[in-house]
Structure 1
């Protein structure tokens, strides 16, 4: 683990109640990994399950933390990023509250400040969602 939950907001601009990442496990130029425990009071929980939008946001925040970690020391504050597009979205299942999701984000292409990232979420080794996200970093 390279960034613990108590330090994650030093690397991303997100704040509660819209914080969808706990720990950054791995960050290098090829891959970012994180985990997140889903509480029942999470704003993206509906009918006892974490919504698809929460899984996508978790992937985006995993990227934000990974980019923030790689850029740490270069800038004073974490960079702001925006989801520009989501494509190739496949949802396999939604995780219930009180479960931990593991996320893998793989940057595949970069054009200036626009990144194409393949994202995947897992719970207990089972794939929940996969997609491609275009992220614009300011």
Structure 2
């Protein structure tokens, strides 16, 4: 099966790569993908369940990072003609939130895969707003057997 062309901004195709459904989908674009990285984008909508006082919350940013990792696994599975994997955040460490994006602002997240074996991913994430890093974290995610 042929991989979707990037950048990918087809909502149904993205939903097919991750285990989330509206209103929990926090990705609207896959910008780039390779064997150790994925870059995703998300424009903060006015009806997001992760808004507080007009800003996207810390929990929203961390969930967006985790969904970016899920998109990496889903895109990888698609390349192998497999179903997307279901995973869970196992641990978050070194999470730093510098600034919260507002409604209509666009964030982009770069996920680097540090470790991927035996159903566990260790990832490093950086979220930017107009090339300014506004959040970073390291996470462990665990895939459902």
TM-score (normalised: structure 2): 0.89
Please state if 1:74 is matched with 2:81.
yes
User: In the alignment, does 2:64 pair up with 1:58?
Assistant: yes
Match of 1:110 among 112, 116, 121: 116
CA contact (8 A) 2:77 2:85 kept: no
Q: Which residue of 1 aligns with 2:8?
A: 3
Runs of 4+ in 1 over 3 A off after TM superposition: none
Distance 2:111 2:101 in 1: 18
Once the two structures are TM-superposed, the CA of residue 111 in structure 1 deviates from its matched residue by 3.6
Number of the residue aligned with 1:45: 51
Measure, in 2, the Cα distance between the counterparts of 1:39 and 1:117: 26
Deviations 1:89-121 (A, max 9, x none): 111111011100000000101341111100111
> Which residue of the partner structure matches residue 121 of structure 1?
127
Specify the alignment match of 2:3 in structure 1.
Answer: none
| Matching residue within 89, 94, 99 for 1:93 | 99
Q: Distance in 1 between matches of 2:7 and 2:98?
A: 29
Q: CA deviation at 1:5?
A: 3.1
Q: How does 1:15-34 map to 2 (within 5 A)?
A: 15-34=21-40
* CA–CA distance in structure 1, aligned partners of residues 137 and 71 of structure 2: 18
What stretches of structure 2 of length at least 5 have no aligned partner? 1-5
